[in-house]
Structure 1
Amino acid sequence: MPDTSTYIDDFAEFIRSSPSSYHAAAETGRRLDAAGFRARRETDAWSAEPGLFYAIRDGAIIAWVVPEGAGPLTPFRILGAHTDSPGFKLKPRPTIGSNGWLQAGVEVYGGPLLNSWLDRELELAGRIVTRDGEERLVRTGPFLRIPQLAIHLDREANNGLTLDRQRHTAPVFGVGEVSQADLVGLLAGFAGLGSGTDAAAEIAGYDILTADTQSPARFGLDDALFAAGRMDNLSSVHAGLTALLVAAESPTPGHISVVAAFDHEELGSESRSGASGPFLADVLTRLGAAFGGGVDERARSLAASWCLSSDAGHSVHPNYPERHDPANQPVAGRGPLLKINANQRYATDAPGAALWSRACAQAGVPYQEFVSNNGVPCGSTIGPLTATRLGIRTIDVGAPLLSMHSARELAHVDDLVALSAAIGAFFAPED
């Protein structure tokens, strides 16, 4: 088990460095570089040598550890997660305003709890692409805020707040005339392209999202609670990365350990960098081909492989216990979740449950089952997508949270640490 304080401090720094999926992939790559991993460009030929490698595709990253003796029949142990989180994305022609206020035109990204984004200092973060094709990461720091209407002007607000996604979610960033402001030009300045009309004209495209700027924090009895933005699903990306770095120090023979952190899960994963896209299949196919394997060897390798789909799950809510299954009510602090659904919204089956049980026992951590209340629709993860695309046996797990899809989510520190420890056992099984 990692030391709790060290792990949580590192996780907090990972969150601060990852305000967008593009930043999360870059920060993961930076940490992999520091640990001796080598970047692989998708346009280059790949070799079959043992070692530590990774590839980045937009806001997604896949890293792998090839042990000595690996070949075309070597199976994979894959930790799947996602780098994106719900929020807002900057629209084209983003400089708008009303009644003397300057505002940013944004589109809702995924399924955020809209009210949680009100009255928070937000930043813009993501990537820009210049006219010559150069790609740069950019972040503004605290820059915007979605102001809530004062209760004096809406006496019924506490009886039910309804937000119109178009009219009520545009954040303010200043005062003045729209004709005199240029949000794209401001982004150019933050990206180091200079200022003014010429600098703005250098930006040919952008993928810019909002992020809450409040720092992660421990609090509560014994500092056991942890609040931060984007724990769905940076909690799993960080847990998998931490476990992979440990596995890389002494690679376990007999399988290739992989962390696959996809983008766009909050939108359904249907993109070139999402779990429904070809990224993971491309990496696994190219590794098999580099080893000299063909179609038969690839099928045999995948048939012996496992994928641990790790995504944040739900702790029982003390104020809404009726929304949970009456017999399966996971409590924060009592271990990560094994997620089960009869309709395959999660991919866990009996062999997978047994493997997760062994991994948690080896790591010395407890775990809890999660199943939805029959009257509450169940969400899904990359697990069923990966199982369907590749035929790999897949298990759905994750850290339990409160306030999922809020701008600021809540977890127990023991669950976050235990999740990484169990993933570490998955990468280095003793049996």
Structure 2
Amino acid sequence: MSEPPRFDRGHTDDLMSFLAASPSPYHAVANTAERLEKAGFRQVAETDAWDGTSGGKYVLRGGAIVAWYVPEGAAPHTPFRIVGAHTDSPNLRVKPLPDTGAHGWRQVAVEIYGGPLLNSWLDRDLGLAGRLTLRDGTTRLVNVDRPLLRVPQLAIHLDRSVSAEGLKLDKQRHLQPIWGLGNDVRDGDLIAFLEETAGLAAGEVTGWDLMVHSVEPPAYLGRDKELVAGPRMDNLLSVHAGAAALTAVAASGGGLPYIPVLAAFDHEENGSQSDTGADGPLLGGVLERSVFARGGSYEDKARAFAGTVCLSSDTGHAVHPNYAERHDPTHHPRVNGGPILKVNVNNRYATDGSGRAVWAAACERADVPFQSFVSNNSMPCGTTIGPITAARHGIKTVDIGVAILSMHSSRELCGADDPHLLANSLVAFLEG
């Protein structure tokens, strides 16, 4: 087996392009699929019968994608090595009746998705992107990637208390963006505008899944450009690294002891309970069908799952210089210090000692440093897809990721080296 390419700062350049081109989960999976296609993977439909041939394959379902590479001669009971991630990010999403307004302002009615830092969406130039569903049941991606909307903040002259008492936002009243002027607010205006933008006939759109995004592009930051600022790092950073690692391992040739897999789910930010979320049947169904397509039995499937390991890759918290007391005093992950191993004994993360050993071995093979993250005992710990994946499928799962600042902001911050350090460690893990 030839040595796969090692990633460097060029990987971070590519990440920035991926972030800019992926303003919604639907765009993220389309862009991931395009990269897989260029690497020789082919899409298989869930409604078709699957064959057991070797090579790279992937399944698309809404805002989720599962891709895998079957080495030549892989047995039905060959275990999997899975990189898990999620495609969604907290934001503002368009309501079923989007056209609203008051006092001569035309606005768009939005709902809060996940747990965003609401203040980060104020006074920012916003575009609109997502998926349109047409009368014939097909879908069309749409991306208005220019300043279209804005959530204006109240001037300090009209709220003198904001400096002393902090900003208080009512989620219903204060977050509806403006997008024009006019007293005549007509139902269907926004969708008609998007139909025209997408080159569709009037009345062709009957359903939509739309969300706002900041149109400011990702950028290097700092005196020496050692930082990256950009949107949706939580968690497209991991999706991008996982796709890069999977295609690199597939290109390296046969002889792999495991079947490498990328599983990028939707709806992690609101609990993962959907047909495209980690708590749904998508991953299990794909893995089972892969076993059966290679002539395997239930016994082969059980053997394969028993030897499978999943790295659940999601962003974590770097130590914040202005709020260091919010972190555990002995665990201070730093940006550009390498990916983090996330641990919580109450199983908010799925990592245990044996999983740590798997992760440490992969990082050692890749010559990548890693750090450990654990929450301050006085602070509640977040969670991710790791415990869900472990419990639903009965497979060993380890939670890892890249340390960032401003998590759940419309614009987050990471170290410029950490994305390619993560990708290199994922290559070593998938190779086994």
Partner of 2:296: 293
Q: Contact 1:82/1:234 (CA < 8 Å) preserved in 2?
A: yes
Question: Which residue number in structure 2 is paired with residue 329 of structure 1?
Answer: 332
In structure 1, distance between residues paired with 2:34 and 2:110: 30
Q: What is the match of residue 88 of structure 1?
A: 92
Q: 1:242 aligned to 2:244?
A: yes
* Residue from 172, 179, 186 that aligns with 1:166: 172
For residues 13 and 333 of structure 1, the distance between their equivalents in structure 2, rounded to whole angstroms, comes to 20
TM-score by length of 2: 0.96
Q: For residue 223 of structure 1, give the secondary structure of its aligned residue in structure 2.
A: coil
C-alpha contact 2:7 2:421 (8 A) present in aligned 1: no
Aligned residue for 2:185? 179
User: In structure 2, what is the Cα distance between the partners aligned to 1:292 and 1:365?
Assistant: 38
Of 147, 154, 157, the match for 1:152: 157
Instruction: Quote the RMSD (CA, aligned, Å).
Output: 1.1
- Say if 2:359 is the partner of 1:356: yes
Partner of 2:206: 204
**Cα deviation 1:117-167 (Å, max 9, x = unaligned):** 101111111101111112100111221111111111111112210100000
Verify the 8 A CA contact 1:50 1:66 in the aligned structure 2. yes
Which residues in structure 2 correspond to 1:217-256 (within 5 Å)? 217-251=219-253, 252-256=255-259
Alpha-carbon distance in 2 for matches of 1:42, 1:222: 48
Q: 2:107 aligns with which of 84, 94, 103?
A: 103
In 1, distance between residues paired with 2:279 and 2:130? 22
Q: Distance in 2 between matches of 1:2 and 1:86?
A: 32
SS at match of 1:419: helix
- Once the two structures are superposed, what CA deviation does each residue of 1:284-326 show, in whole Å capped at 9, x if it has no partner? 0101111122221111110001000000000000000010001
Q: Secondary structure at the match of 1:221?
A: coil
The CA deviation at 1:4 is 3.4
TM-score, normalised relative to structure 1 = 0.97
**Structure 1 match to 2:46:** 42
- Cα separation, partners in 2 of 1:263 and 1:288, compared to 1, 3 Å: same
Q: Matched residues in 2 for 1:190 and 1:41: separation?
A: 29
Stretches (4+) displaced over 6 A: none
**Aligned length in residues:** 424
Q: Cα–Cα, structure 1 residues 291 and 372, in superposed 2: closer, same or farther, change >3 Å?
A: same
Q: Secondary structure at the match of 1:307?
A: strand
Superposition map of 1:237-316 within 5 A: 237-251=239-253, 252-316=255-319
Is this contact kept in 2: 1:4–1:413, CA < 8 A? no
Q: Unmatched 5+ residue regions in structure 1?
A: none
2:199 paired residue among 175, 192, 204: 192
Q: 1:216 aligns with which of 208, 215, 218?
A: 218
Helix, strand or coil: the match of 2:128?
Answer: strand
Residue 384 (structure 1) shift: 0.4
CA drift of 1:180 comes to 4.7
Q: Distance in 2 between matches of 1:180 and 1:84?
A: 31
Letter in 2 for 1:169: L
**Alpha-carbon distance between aligned partners in 1 of 2:355 and 2:9, rounded to the nearest angstrom:** 31
Q: Does the 8 Å CA contact 2:258/2:431 hold for their aligned counterparts?
A: no
Gaps of 5+ in 2: none
Secondary structure, counterpart of 2:133 in structure 1: strand
Secondary structure of 1:317's counterpart equals: coil
Contact 2:220 2:228 (C-alpha < 8 Å) held by counterparts: yes
Distance between the aligned counterparts of 1:359 and 1:69, measured in 2? 24
Give the Cα separation in 2 of the matches to 1:103 and 1:411. 33
Q: 2:17 maps to which residue?
A: 13
Structure 1 residues 315 and 193, CA gap change in structure 2 (3 angstroms): same
